[in-house]
Chain A
């Protein structure tokens, strides 16, 4: 490439863009006095594993949630309204002002222009944020990034994760469908039965009526909890951030595609005068639901103490694992513990969706109760198998490596040869992606004309994924050797 700087100096000519470049440079110089440039954001020029920056992807999804949530504010009414019961000798007809919060969500979904898109992006992004946060936590756990001066990041991260789930909880309660109502019921009961201050705390958080609840959860969801999250984030975000444009764009695209493929229903309107039906919490709460449904467990123990102990164990991990080594192979106990935790989460999450007998679908109320012996046995089995197998595997692997070291033989690490795209492959793929983008743009336009909202959502998502693929192909094929 030679020396571009020198070459540019000798060939310097006045260009049309010079004033704009000068202005940008002027702004950039002044920005150096601000906080903005203190955060070092790295835009990786070659592909690195997204597992390493799952936290940054969570931040990006948080921003998507902020933007779509702000748009939803324009049409959402945080008001339950009045649901008078039927007069004597008449059949019940719901009043038009009954459950206005639900009605406004239904109108966002069905009537408001773009409302369907924004609501589905908001919903799928909330799922993605919880999922990415959990994946981020487990990746950092297995990578050993919770000790050796990572303690502050780890502890704030765990707290941030718990608050993320609470934020999601306040969000889906605001819809006031029967699913939200189930969550409100469980939350209020758990708060009410917490010791000493329980009853007062329940009144402060949940208020005295559904109208109180609507406006309070609205305040929590759109202001108080996000502000708390931002405050904790200021301590949690590391100094060096990786912003990978193609992967971020792909994640955004996948959220949009999921929103179009699995559009979230408004659900069944909650009406205090009508019998409710069997429903499930969101997937990140079915684990709690399984514990609460276990026969003989006090609700406060099942729904608050057990999850708190689980969180506390992870919170305190750095203060018990004091070893200086972070490789998985040197931490068999902690790696086994993580695997056991994953196994337990999987079992209780799936069981939350199932009947008392986990091989049956939950359909009626008499199937709700879970046999405590069977439940505990399944958890113990998951713990024992997950811990045992992983611990044994790590020990075996370490012994093997040490034996090879002692014998001065090469270690069994395979270097994977990267697949290099040939020139023809690069150009045909880039050309194909370009044609796909053009076709998608046309299809999006036609989908909007035909009011096929979910098609538009899927196709906008596909455009983002195709963009990610284009940039990815460009960067893996343009690295200078």
Chain B
């Protein structure tokens, strides 16, 4: 190799080239080895969600399922439950927290467990379909897999379902029985992330 020998000059291109090389290596080093890529591990929590199921037309939030309160369960056993009175929270170690403002979206972290307590409310309103036994309930993932199979929520009773959400994603819970004209809107989402 016979090199073309340049006259003495400021090594502008050489210095710029070295800056580019260092920037490339530094960028890779910073973004790959300094910035953390391991997902944040949340301490799994157990959430209790209390809600009423009623027709969309009379519900306060316009979603049919109205979340009345939410709580973290700070003990390993679930509160005692009866279909007439729901969960008995006396002597239960729990902490309340503020849910989403629309009273229908539930947020959780991956690995969390959610226990739903749903009271199925029959309203004396002409828009509720005559002669139905109650509302329906089902929880699905966005890809269509079923987490809580279709269940009929008989009017005037409490129901409970417990689901563990291992994967991040958006899940949907919805009414499965045609209850009023607003039935397709009777749904809410569970955002796990």
Contacts and interface: CB of A to CB of B under 8 A. Distances in A.
B13 A419 contact: yes
A-B interface, 5 closest residue pairs, ranked by CB to CB distance from nearest: A425-B14, A420-B6, A89-B178, A432-B21, A422-B6
Interface of A: 88-91, 93-96, 98, 419-426, 428-429, 432-433, 435-436, 439-440, 443, 446-447, 450, 452, 455, 458-459, 462, 466, 469, 477-481
Looking at chain B, what size class is its interface with the partner chain? 35 or more
Interface stretch (B69-77, B86-94, B112-120, B169-177): B169-177
- Max chain A C-beta neighbours (<10 A), residue from B1, B17, B150, B176: B17
Contacts of A94: 144
A95 B11 contact: no
A424 B33 CA distance: 31
Given A421-B13, A425-B14, A436-B21, A95 B178 contact: no
Interface string B116-142: 000000000000000000001010100
B187 interface: yes
Contact of B175 (A91, A423, A443): A91
A424 B11 contact: yes
Contacts of B176: 89-91
Contacts of A459: 28
Given A421-B13, A478-B3, A91 B25 contact: no
B32 interface: yes
Interface string B1-17: 11111111101111001
Given A421-B13, A443-B32, A479 B4 contact: yes
A450 B21 contact: no
Contact of A423 (B3, B9, B21, B178): B3
A93 B8 CA distance: 74
A480 B14 contact: no
Given A421-B6, A429-B14, A443-B28, A452 B138 contact: no
A478 B4 CA distance: 6
A462 B28 contact: yes
A148 B174 CA distance: 71
Contact of B17 (A96, A432, A435, A477): A432
A4 to B, nearest CB: 14
Nearest to B5: A423
Given A422-B9, A424-B11, A478-B1, A447 B32 contact: yes
Given A422-B9, A443-B28, A443-B32, A452 B37 contact: yes
27 contacts: A88-B178, A89-B176, A90-B136, A91-B176, A421-B13, A422-B6, A422-B9, A423-B5, A426-B3, A426-B14, A428-B18, A429-B18, A432-B17, A432-B22, A436-B24, A439-B25, A439-B28, A446-B32, A447-B32, A452-B32, A452-B37, A455-B28, A462-B24, A469-B17, A477-B4, A478-B4, A481-B4
B111 interface: no
Given A90-B150, A443-B28, 7 more contacts: A423-B3, A436-B25, A450-B37, A452-B32, A455-B28, A479-B4, A481-B2
B31 interface: yes
A481 B6 CA distance: 12
Contacts of B2: 478, 480-481
Contact of A91 (B11, B13, B29, B184): B184
A158 B2 CA distance: 44
B11 A477 contact: no
Given A439-B25, A455-B31, A91 B187 contact: yes
A421 to B, nearest CB: 6
A4 B24 CA distance: 41
Contacts of B31: 455
A154 B178 CA distance: 65
